[in-house]
Chain A
């Protein structure tokens, strides 16, 4: 149990365009989802926390108008990178947590390359 999927696994987009990444909890209801960013050979940095049905809470330094997060249902959260630039190229990983659960379950990640 506790499987989280991400789609797409890899995406290449042109500078200035927007790209949407989906994160789904497949076998449980995720009341909270987290979005992380990981640069090559570096650790995961939390970008934002989203609770189902409410606005996401962004970490300091993360532009909320650039990284749009929607958590409209208990099984789906989306991250939209708007007006992408090459410096947005990174590995984006989501995780999901059920209500009253302390453990986060991680998705396989999405490799974004902006050309």
Chain B
């Protein structure tokens, strides 16, 4: 069975500061990993995905994530936070491509002036 743990339901950073959102996964097979962003009352937008290629994945809006098998982690980072980054972020895992996604509980990112 697959699962995702997102540490920190709320993260607050100053504008311009580093963003680090944590995600650890559990999977019985090599995983596909995803980060999504959700703005209020909207669907999910894909930020980036890991599909067994390069371990450092670059996504949209300056976000990137590194797959670390030894740590079963896929943390999301952005060097400099912007006010528009304030949203809910979900990490998700899929056991093999095309199979169902299991989502973490989400992290609400707040960006302060």
Contact = CB atoms under 8 A, between A and B. Distances in A.
A72 interface: no
Contacts of A108: 42-43
Given A42-B105, A103-B49, A93 B100 contact: no
A102 B100 contact: no
B24 interface: no
Contacts, number: 49
B43 A43 contact: no
A49 B94 CA distance: 14
B46 to A, nearest CB: 7
Is the contact region of chain A dominated by helix, strand, or loop, or is it mixed?
strand
Contacts of B103: 43-45
A43 B105 contact: yes
B98 A46 contact: no
Interface of B: 32, 36, 41-46, 49, 51, 90, 94, 96-98, 100-106, 108
Interface of A: 4, 6, 32, 34, 41-46, 49, 91, 93, 95, 97, 100-104, 106-109, 111
